[in-house]
């Protein structure tokens, strides 16, 4: 089955229990709705288990970037297990290390500071989207 | 003896307003309305079969909240052999409040927030019933 090269699949953890999960969800949505609206698609991670083969084929149709809130890496593990190896992975707690003074508190309404972090995570996802698309499109350009 | 807690588990609902409604309602129940009786966990932990989480949802009553007919929360709890005692669809609550037009995913509009509050009230009532059933 051929992989679509014009779109990248963004798969976020659900992360209900921790603020980092909400950051990963909001960051993924910022990419999908604003930063790379035309280049990205998504699927709910739990649909890999709840759904059918139609859903599980997702990572074979699109190169994927997983976005996880914590070291449990549910999005990365779940995508690998049910659908296919992600093209790139992001973990919010890794990015947080760059901001040691930032103390995440809310898993519901993000503060201005937390929203700023979500925007930074979104920018990192967007960079990865560009890299993945460049890798996928690159060989085609050279052929022509 | 440690008291059982009711697990409220919303779907991830990444691309849908009703997914955000379910998530917000969950936070209202576990954070404000029934903080001592209810808690939540990450649905994705069920998807990957995290042992610690599986143990908790098998030992405690669970309520699923789903935003769309795929019913990811309900199905993940069932496949994980969790103790699913109630299954709630956001669309059913919306049907009872037809005037509301929830919109937005990152940020819900006022009607989405209203629906989340109404849903939270229903979930809180279910928590009370479940606690009553257990006594």
pLDDT digits (tens, 9 = 90+) for B94-128: 999 999 999 999 899 999 999 999 999 999 999 99
pLDDT digits (tens, 9 = 90+) for A56-112: 999 889 999 999 999 999 999 999 999 999 999 999 999 999 988 888 888 888 899
Domain boundaries, chain B: 6-134
What is the rounded distance in angstroms from the CA atom of residue B27 to the CA atom of residue A107? 8
Would you identify the CATH topology of the domain B6-134? Rossmann fold (3.40.50)
pTM: 0.91
* Polymer length of chain A: 144
Whether chain B has a CB inside 8 Å of the CB on A47: the answer is yes
Whether chain B has a CB inside 8 Å of the CB on A7: the answer is no
* Residue A143 pLDDT exceeds 60: no
CB contact under 8 A, A77 and B48: yes
Where would I find the H helices in A13-111?
Answer: 19-30, 47-50, 53-56, 58-61, 74-82, 92-96
Domains of chain A with bracketed CATH: 8-133 (3.40.50)
Query: In terms of C-beta density within 10 A (0-12 exposed, 13-18 middle, 19 or more buried), how is residue B64 classed?
Result: buried
Longest dimension (CA), chain B: 46
A88 and A59 in contact (C-beta within 8 Å)? no
CB contact under 8 A, A47 and B72: yes
Measured between beta carbons, the chain A residues lying within 8 angstroms of B15 are: 29, 32, 42, 44
Q: What is the ipTM of this complex?
A: 0.91
Crossing angle (nearest 10°) for helices B17-28 and B110-134: 50
CB contact under 8 A, A25 and B12: yes
- Look at A53-57, B23-27, B32-36, B78-82 and tell me which has the smallest mean pLDDT: A53-57
Q: What pLDDT, on a 0 to 100 scale, did the predictor assign at position A137?
A: 80
């Amino acid at each position: 089955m051929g992989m679509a090269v014009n779109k990248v699949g963004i798969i976020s953890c659900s992360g209900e229990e921790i603020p980092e999960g909400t950051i990963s969800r909001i960051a993924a949505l910022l990419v999908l709705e604003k930063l790379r609206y035309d280049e990205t698609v998504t699927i709910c991670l739990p649909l890999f288990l709840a759904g059918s083969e139609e859903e599980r084929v997702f990572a074979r149709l699109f190169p994927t970037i997983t976005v996880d809130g914590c070291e449990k890496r549910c999005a990365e593990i779940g995508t690998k297990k049910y659908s296919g190896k992600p093209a790139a992975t992001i973990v919010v707690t890794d990015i947080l290390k760059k901001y040691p003074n930032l103390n995440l508190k809310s898993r519901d309404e993000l503060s201005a500071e937390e929203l700023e972090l979500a925007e930074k995570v979104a920018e990192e996802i967007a960079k990865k989207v560009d890299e993945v698309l460049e890798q996928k499109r690159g060989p085609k350009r050279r052929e022509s | 003896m440690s008291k059982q807690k009711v697990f409220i588990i919303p779907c991830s609902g990444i691309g849908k307003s009703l997914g955000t409604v379910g998530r917000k309602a969950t936070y209202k129940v576990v954070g404000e309305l029934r903080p001592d009786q209810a808690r939540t966990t990450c649905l994705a932990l069920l998807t990957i079969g995290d042992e610690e989480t599986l143990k908790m949802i098998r030992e405690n009553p669970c309520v699923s909240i789903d935003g769309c007919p795929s019913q990811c929360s309900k199905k993940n709890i069932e496949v994980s052999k969790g103790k699913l005692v109630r299954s709630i669809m956001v669309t059913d609550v919306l049907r009872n409040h037809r005037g509301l037009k929830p919109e937005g995913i990152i940020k819900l509009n006022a009607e989405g927030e209203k629906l989340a509050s109404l849903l939270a009230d229903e979930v809180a009532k279910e928590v009370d019933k479940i606690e009553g059933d257990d006594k």
